[in-house]
Structure 1
Amino acid sequence: MVHQQLQSLVLQTIRNHALFSIATDTLLVGVSGGVDSMVLLHILQALECKVHVAHCNFSLRGAESDADEHLVVSYAQSNNIPYSVTRFNTREYAQQTHMSIEMAARELRYDWFSELCVEHSCDYIAIAHNENDSVETFFIQLLRTTGIKGLRGIPITNGRIVRPLLNSTRSSIEAYAHANNITYRTDSSNLENEYVRNKIRNIVLPQLVSIHPQAHNNIVTSMHHVSQAYDVYADTIAQELARIVTYTGTGCMVNEHVLLAHKHKQALAFELFRSYGFTPNSIEQILQSFGTQSGKIFESPQYTAVHDRDTLFIFPKIIEQAFQIEVLLQSYTISTPYAKFRCSLHNSTEITLTKHPHWAYIDAAKLSNTLVLRTWKAGDSFVPFGMKGNKKVSDYLIDAKIPVHIKQHVLVLESNGTIVWLVGFTIHNLYAITNHTTRVFCIEMQQLNDEV
């Protein structure tokens, strides 16, 4: 009975949210060896999904980490499932990047998953987060003052990441494992209260349930309401910011007068500046600087904001004069010093266009299989969308009134030596999608601190 109920719920979740096609898509499944990921893998097998197992050994728990790896590899081999395993020196990476252990492990994991998707032609990344994880995340975000966006809990999809167990409780997953004799590993650190998540899981939530037996269900319902409200809120914020912000490739320019005059300036400022990594205290200081002497500088971990007369300029801290990276004509995510880029391939009938300078939609049939993303250089030219004649990138940026210190951060995407996208501005006119386009290459630029 437990066997059928959880499988049915997962199948319903996959269908209701159109997570992926069981018949045609290949899933890269993140498997730690814990009960959640082992059950997810078991259910995906039962549903006859095409899967490739990925296991990260973060080298954090010595023999325990090695035992986790051994279990996952043994299961994959005995079930004839293709698999990949890697080991990270997570503590060293955390020190080098000034991240917490948790954030370092997260970045290492998802960057590697993205690489594996390209290597093994996987369409989606299946992660075993469950409903309890989402409730815990709600409280973690509440402590971080992340705003409405963070109070939605864990999203069921995020780009190519899908979470088929997100509507399933931890107790139902454990019952399924017991009923099906699924071997799994228990991370002993989950029983310790060293990390914030563990304190919420082991101390806070049990107390809430003792106060109100329906606390878990009520919190889940509230998160769903918040998520629906956020969709409306986000649309409104985007519309209002369009009147205030001019996007400049990998940065932006903020019209201080228009923002200050807006009756919802606090909410708009929070959502805009928070997306560039500025803290609530820094955001308040930025607002207070408007209308004062030019030259004030504010910094987040990855961006600089400079107040100059009636404009605030925001741009990445890092400048690489000869930056260049290959971009494959596939679905995956690329991390660069300037921004993150989420790439995807679609049939033209499947996509809904997002009108925003951070998005580009290009006719895939006109592109080479390998593109180049690089900083622009003198002499670069292209045909801007809607125009017929060639125009130098330098002239385009002058016409767009882009300041010198912003120009240094402008990137271009080229195919066979032709610039097809002046990143964050416009695409090449001849590469735009038309009524004859069958396949579309979509590429979205995201701020460096956006979650992937």
Structure 2
Amino acid sequence: MLDLKPGSKAVLGFSGGVDSVVLSQFLLDRYNIRPYLLHVNYGLREESDEDARWCQWYAQEYRFEIQVLNADPSQRSGENVQNWARKVRYAWFQERAEALGAEYIFTAHHMDDRRETFLMNALRGSGLIGITGMNSALITRPLAHLDKGAILDYAKERELPWREDASNKSLKYTRNKFRNLLAPILDEVEPRWMGGLKKTVENLERDRDLLLGFMTQWKSEWTTTSGKEVMVKMGPWVKSEVGQNLLYKLAQQTDSGFNFEEVGHVLRGDVGQMTRGKNHLLIKDREFFFLVPAYEKDTRVYSIDSFEAFDQLPFQLHLEKTSTSACIFDAHHEYLSEAAVQFPWTVRLWRPGDTFRPLGMNGSKKISDFLNNLRLPRHRKEQTYVVLKNETIIWVLGHRIAESARVGEGDNFAYLATLK
């Protein structure tokens, strides 16, 4: 028996096939949950519109609420049809669940689906997560331990209607080849293969969940938070599929817009590899992964003619005049000379080709090389501002003043800089 809260709000991915029809009735009969039906019309088959109309008829006949999404297949840009369809439906299911305040997102996957997934992924060389299928906390699959035969028996006993999907017979799709070509051969070679494979899948799923549980406990050792940034320290887990799953789940806690495959690309990518969720970025650096609020490049150029003009800047900048005798000249304090703090200033993001003469150096240096030497992560590097006076960079904000802005031996006063 599933641990579901009776009478809960829920959405159900509804194709109109026997699996989703049975699940809609099972939830109502067993848990008094009348799910909101979500049907996606992918527009890929001649029968697609008729399928959508049938689903609407079923909802009206059995008093379910329903919504149909008409997906646009022209938007898939050469992507595999099934991968595109999967992304479309799960993104929409989650969106509607949030909008409706649903506690559950149900899908009608059953044991036969899990066996097929296992075989396909095993032959592709998947790891533990891929071979068993990702266990998403967002999706609940009440039929996962039932064979197709039991589902058909349930439907026939209750004389439920359903719609047959003609594409299930098509050998155009890999899953159908496993179902319609390989399964009959396995039936002949080893009649008990389905039961044996069911045990294998369930054993591996338990191992997967146990390992993920341990990894979740260890997460506090390699995850730190600084302000709005989350930093995940790299380790041996980076090369594992379990690690990808955990990084994905961590990203999902902050921003539900991250895609599992894209997180994998960042995990295996070069330094600077990045993917974007709805409101956050996941970035790979040398020793850490960074999960940070998304940002757009600031193209504005700020003209500063007074201290009051600092208010227009997208960050907090404060200059405090102090006696040079009270100055603490070390790596933790940044001072500008009185001559440098003579407006006007220009403040903007650094640009390719920018150069300056860092404090203590004889020659000039490209800003790009200077920032690379600091080993800044991509997002901090891209959001570094410079201050110009008379078209010359006198300060790389937050990192180094230029030699021309240094406090001289004969100066009586200086400005202590604070940047937030």
Q: Quick one: which of 42, 46, 52 aligns to 2:25? A: 42
Number of aligned positions between the proteins: 291
The equivalent residue for 2:315 is: 378
Q: Matched residues in 1 for 2:273 and 2:243: separation?
A: 11
Give 1:227's match in structure 2, choosing from 175, 181, 205: 205
- 1:194-343, aligned counterparts within 5 Å? 194-237=172-215, 249=229, 252-254=232-234, 259=235, 265=236, 269-271=239-241, 274-275=244-245, 277=261, 297=271, 305=284, 311-314=286-289, 320-321=295-296
Task: Check conservation: 1:319, 1:409, Cα contact below 8 A.
Answer: no
* Partner Cα distance (2:172, 2:225) in 1: 41
Distance 1:272 1:49 in 2: 33
Aligned partner of 1:403 in structure 2 is: 376
Map Cα deviations across residues 38-87 of structure 1 (whole Å, 9 max, x no partner): 1111222323323221111111112x111111111111112222221221
What's 1:56 paired with? 40
Could you tell me how far 1:181 is from its partner in structure 2? 2.4
* 1-structure distance, mates of 2:178, 2:13: 24
2:352 alignment counterpart? none
- Report the 3-state secondary structure (helix = DSSP H, G, I; strand = E; otherwise coil) of the residue aligned with 1:186: coil
The amino acid of 1:130's aligned partner reads: H
Q: Within 1, Cα distance between the matches of 2:382 and 2:203?
A: 39
Q: Report the Cα distance in structure 1 between the residues aligned to 2:53 and 2:102, rounded to whole angstroms.
A: 23
| 1:82 equivalent in structure 2 | 65
CA distance in 1, matches of 2:230, 2:124: 26
Which consecutive residues of structure 2, in runs of 5 or more, have no partner in the other structure?
248-260, 277-281, 299-313, 318-332, 334-373, 384-420
- In structure 2, do the counterparts of structure 1 residues 304 and 118 end up closer, same or farther at CA, with 3 Å as the change threshold? closer
Residue 94 (1) aligns with residue 76 (2):
yes
Tell me which amino acid in the other structure corresponds to 1:50. R
In 2: Cα distance, 1:215 partner to 1:188 partner: 27
Aligned counterpart for 1:187 among listed residues 156, 165, 169: 165
Distance 2:263 2:12 in 1: 34
Report the CA distance shift for 1:159/1:153 in structure 2 as closer, same or farther (over 3 A).
Answer: closer
1:104 and 2:84 equivalent?
A: yes
**Aligned-partner Cα distance in 1 for 2:164–2:56:** 16
CA–CA distance in structure 2, aligned partners of residues 149 and 274 of structure 1: 9
Work out whether 1:167 is the aligned partner of 2:149. no
- TM-score, length-normalised on structure 2? 0.59
Counterpart of 1:208, as a letter, is: L
User: Could you say which structure has the larger radius of gyration?
Assistant: 2
Match in the other structure for 1:364: none
Counterparts of 1:10-25 in structure 2, within 5 Å, are 12=1, 14=2, 18=3, 20-22=4-6, 24-25=7-8
Change (3 A) 1:227 1:247: farther
Cα separation, 2, equivalents of 1:137 and 1:147: 13
Do the aligned partners of residues 102 and 272 (structure 1) sit closer, same or farther apart at CA in structure 2, a change above 3 Å counting?
same
Instruction: Give me the identity figure in percent.
Output: 23
Q: 1:304: Cα distance to partner?
A: 6.1
Q: CA deviation at 1:161?
A: 1.8
Verify the 8 A CA contact 1:142 1:151 in the aligned structure 2.
Answer: yes
SS of residue matched to 2:12: strand
CA RMSD of aligned residues (A): 3.8
Superposition TM-score, scaled by structure 1 size: 0.55
Higher alpha-carbon deviation: 129-138 or 220-229: 220-229
For residues 237 and 305 of structure 1, do their structure 2 counterparts lie closer, same or farther at Cα, with a shift above 3 Å needed?
same
Alignment of 1:407-446 (within 5 A): 407=380
Deviation of 1:92 (Å): 1.7
Deviations 1:233-281 (A, max 9, x none): 3344556776667678366443xxxx5xxxxx4x652247745758999
Amino acid at match of 1:378: F
1:173/1:246 CA distance change after superposition, 3 Å? same
Cα separation, 2, equivalents of 1:253 and 1:77: 53
CA distance in 1, matches of 2:125, 2:284: 21
Separation (CA, whole Å) in 2 of partners of 1:272 and 1:228: 13
SS in 2 for 1:164: coil
What residue identity is the alignment partner of 1:93? Answer: Q
Deviation digits for residues 343-366 of structure 1, max 9, x if unmatched?
xxxxxxxxxxxxxxxxxxxxxxxx
Question: Is 1:177 the counterpart of 2:150 in the alignment?
Answer: no
